[in-house]
Amino acid sequence: MNDNLDALFKPKSVALIGASVKELSIGNVIIKNLLHYQFRGPVYPINPKVDEIRGLKAYPSIQDVPGEVDLAHIVIPPPFVPEEVENCGKKGVKAIIVNTAGFKEMGAKGQALENDFLARARKYGIRVVGPNCQGIINSDPAFNAYCNFTFTYPNPGHISVVAQSGGVGAVIMQAFYDMGIGQRMYASNGNGSDVSITEIISYYGKDEETRAIVLYAESLENPQEFIAIAKQVTARKPILAITAGRTDKGAEASRSHIGGLAGNISMELIYQKAGILTFSSQEDLCHAAVALSSQPIPRGNKVGIITNTGGPSVIAIDELVSCGLEIPPLSKKAAKTLKGTMLESASVRNPLDVVATAGPGHFRSALEVMMKEPQFDSIYINFVTPPFVDCENVAREIAAAAKAGNKPIVCNYMTDKQKWGGTSEILKQGEIPCFDFAETAARALHALVRYNQIRSAKVGSVKKFKDVNRAAVRSILHYALSHEREVLTATEVYGILEAYRIPVAPWKVVSGVQEVVSAATEIGFPVVIKADSESIIHKSDVGGVAVNIQDAQEAAAVAETMKRNLGGDIKFFVQQFIPKGRELIIGAKAVKGVGHIIMFGLGGIFTEVLKDVAFTISPVSDTEAIRMINSVKAAPLINGYRGEKGINRAKTIEIIRRISMLGTDFPMIRELDLNPLFATGNEICVVDARIIL
């Protein structure tokens, strides 16, 4: 990783290989954009057939350019790209944006061309963005670099965007523009052949003027590296990401779109692991970015509300509360002060309804008192602009309070923005995040609170258990692999679990009916008898599970029946019967480049019908294990409910961490399923497990 991307984002001169006189061409639009955005340095169109493009002198080749070239766009057809990269190398170009499409995403031939130009770029130490991308923008007035073929000209600001998809990037850029919100840097890196999203995130992380980073990615080249870097960045400033490809269909679409693999859930889990704020709605993400790039981070989830209209505060409260925010009452002292300063008709409580006729003085007092109340971490304002009120001065009070205080403010600003242009401008200059609807403002405030929770959450520790027997597991796995078996036998599975000290119900694997009876007697009745065969995946579906077997006679009868129904050569898995407890499920699934995804949930219908399970990426720390347990909807059943005792959480956490370690130690475990574990009283043990290599 090399995050010095100055040549790319801070170019002093730009050349365009494939510049064109045709107005409707990328080779022309980029020059138009550089000129329109008032790029600070020289622009060199490269085209051997013409003398001039858009009033600029054109050069037959990059080598003919008189001055130095920091950055070159290449917009010519793929077969000619490698040679031009070579020419750029000879000229001393530092960075290249390959806008042209038709490389990796088009198959083997395209991949070969991509490899060819990349090798040449590396030879000269040139960094490459793309191919198949828009390019970059830097709104810093020292550069005004619009090295991009889109159409939105962002004003300087504090939000930086990186998008694998130019379409999503452009729509987000336009959304900020429409809200009157400035932006700092922008990058659409397409195939990401060289400069990676991770490097760009790291670069934005170090850029002082960038206060919030917006990310859109469908896949990541090196997820573990991304997590490590993004974690460092999110400790300093928020990263906001859209989770795309969550559904299977969505994943298919993104796969064919960019040629990368989008894991359905793995992207979301990668973001979670890195401390990134995720959004399923682009609109919510944009609103949150506006708040996060302008406001201080609240220290908690308690909100003070000031409103000059009733209904919107009802809607705001619904949204705030459903997001998990709290609306604590005013202190007695504050209420007393406000009784003296508010209008007669005002409602002095939280929400504080200053009423529609409230003027600047009323808002000032309301803001002063609310900002000082220690039990409020943030201030939510509903501000409608009554024509009979000095709204500009109300706006000035809001802006002044935001400047003086250290608590974030969000505002549901309800007005005709053209008629109240002066008021709007004052709020804008004061960097007050304004939203058209109460619920949008509430959700933006929630994002501020979420970021505080992420930033202040303890990372926890990953435990390396010393009492495990790696050698035993290694030899079991090697034996199975050397026999080209993917599905492990029950003996192997339980052998592995025991080697990692994961508690299992006492068991025995035997062949004949008579052995079933002796095994059951040895384990002690009541027992469970299961059919053990590689070809049976869901044992209970085929009558391969008989529970609560009371004695030798019943055991023999059950074994006879299974033999008859499931084939004479099946083996039997005899296990202690565990009287009913809570059924849990814990699993691990290998994801390329990520490690293992670890799953936790309540078993049975909670898993199968309600899909009430939680995931995280290994290695799982203690805090992450706790978060998983607490985040399932059925958590109250786990923690104890109405007199019913909860399960042993410490043991559950330990099993999750041991499974996580097993996955880390043995990456060849593709899938591992403990389904179910039984939690009875203080004990937990596995009663069914499967491992696939």
Residues that bind ligand ADP (CB under 6 A): 505, 528, 530, 538-540, 545, 547, 575-578, 676, 687-688
Cα–Cα distance, 394 to 347 (Å, whole number): 19
259: left (phi over 0), alpha (psi -120 to 50) or beta: left
Least gap, CB of 505 to ligand ADP (angstroms): 5
Sign of CA dihedral 98, 100, 106, 110: negative
Residue 420 or 494 having the CB closest to Mg ion: 494
Partner in contact with 545, chosen from ligand ADP, Mg ion, none, beta carbon below 5 to 8 Å by kind: ligand ADP
DSSP single-letter state for residue 681: T
Binding mask 498-517 for Mg ion (x = CB under 5 A): --------------------
155 three-state secondary structure: coil
Least gap, CB of 538 to Mg ion (angstroms): 7
Least gap, CB of 675 to Mg ion (angstroms): 4
Tokens of 486: 């993917």
Cis peptide before 351 (omega within 30 of 0): yes
Least gap, CB of 490 to Mg ion (angstroms): 12
Least gap, CB of 260 to ligand ADP (angstroms): 35
620: left (phi over 0), alpha (psi -120 to 50) or beta: beta
Tokens of 669: 């475990």
Least gap, CB of 127 to ligand ADP (angstroms): 52
Beta bridge partners of 646: none
E strand residue ranges, 118-194: 127-129, 135-138, 145-147, 159-163, 185-188
Tokens of 214: 């917006």
Interacting residue with Mg ion among 212, 446, 688, 689 (CB under 5 A) = 688
Least gap, CB of 374 to Mg ion (angstroms): 52
Residue 70 or 688 having the CB closest to Mg ion: 688
Residue 578 or 597 having the CB closest to ligand ADP: 578
Least gap, CB of 600 to Mg ion (angstroms): 16
Least gap, CB of 572 to ligand ADP (angstroms): 13
Contact 242/289 with Cβ under 8 angstroms? no
- Only one of the segments 166-174, 278-286, 438-446, 667-675 lies at the binding site for Mg ion (rule: CB under 5 A); that segment is 667-675
Binding mask 627-666 for Mg ion (x = CB under 5 A): ----------------------------------------
Partner in contact with 448, chosen from ligand ADP, Mg ion, none, beta carbon below 5 to 8 Å by kind: none
- Token pair 């475990």 is found at 669
Least gap, CB of 585 to ligand ADP (angstroms): 9
Partner in contact with 607, chosen from ligand ADP, Mg ion, none, beta carbon below 5 to 8 Å by kind: none
Sign of CA dihedral 475, 479, 484, 488: negative
The residue type found at 661 is M
- Only one of the segments 116-124, 150-158, 300-308, 682-690 lies at the binding site for Mg ion (rule: CB under 5 A); that segment is 682-690
Residue 316 or 517 having the CB closest to ligand ADP: 517
- Total residues at interface with Mg ion (CB under 5 A): 2
Partner in contact with 308, chosen from ligand ADP, Mg ion, none, beta carbon below 5 to 8 Å by kind: none
| Angstrom distances, CA of residue 566 to CA of 34, 306, 490 | 74, 71, 17
Partner in contact with 149, chosen from Mg ion, ligand ADP, none, beta carbon below 5 to 8 Å by kind: none
Angle between helices 391-404 and 360-372 (to 10 degrees): 20
Partner in contact with 270, chosen from ligand ADP, Mg ion, none, beta carbon below 5 to 8 Å by kind: none
Transcribe 274-325 into DSSP letters.
HT-EEES-HHHHHHHHHHHTTSPPPSSSBEEEEESSHHHHHHHHHHHHHTT-
Contact 25/226 with Cβ under 8 angstroms? no
Least gap, CB of 520 to ligand ADP (angstroms): 12
Residue 500 or 678 having the CB closest to Mg ion: 678
| Residue 607 contacts Mg ion per CB under 5 A | no
**In this chain, which residue has its C-beta nearest to Mg ion?**
688
Return phi, psi of residue 17, to 5°: -85, 115
Contact 142/40 with Cβ under 8 angstroms? yes
Contact 215/162 with Cβ under 8 angstroms? yes
547: left (phi over 0), alpha (psi -120 to 50) or beta: beta
Residue 220 or 497 having the CB closest to ligand ADP: 497
Cα–Cα distance, 189 to 209 (Å, whole number): 21
Least gap, CB of 543 to ligand ADP (angstroms): 10
Contact 440/384 with Cβ under 8 angstroms? no
Rg of the chain over Cα atoms, rounded to whole angstroms, equals 31
- Only one of the segments 236-244, 288-296, 447-455, 672-680 lies at the binding site for Mg ion (rule: CB under 5 A); that segment is 672-680
Partner in contact with 575, chosen from Mg ion, ligand ADP, none, beta carbon below 5 to 8 Å by kind: ligand ADP
| Residue 575 contacts Mg ion per CB under 5 A | no
Interacting residue with Mg ion among 675, 677, 684, 689 (CB under 5 A) = 675
- Only one of the segments 116-124, 129-137, 494-502, 683-691 lies at the binding site for Mg ion (rule: CB under 5 A); that segment is 683-691
Proportion of the chain in helix, strand, coil states, percent, rounded to 5: 40, 20, 35
Partner in contact with 578, chosen from ligand ADP, Mg ion, none, beta carbon below 5 to 8 Å by kind: ligand ADP
Cα–Cα distance, 470 to 462 (Å, whole number): 18
Cα–Cα distance, 360 to 358 (Å, whole number): 7
Cα–Cα distance, 279 to 104 (Å, whole number): 29
Partner in contact with 507, chosen from ligand ADP, Mg ion, none, beta carbon below 5 to 8 Å by kind: none
Least gap, CB of 603 to Mg ion (angstroms): 8
| Residue 532 contacts Mg ion per CB under 5 A | no
- Only one of the segments 179-187, 244-252, 410-418, 669-677 lies at the binding site for Mg ion (rule: CB under 5 A); that segment is 669-677
| Residue 583 contacts Mg ion per CB under 5 A | no
Q: Site residues (CB under 5 A) for Mg ion?
A: 675, 688
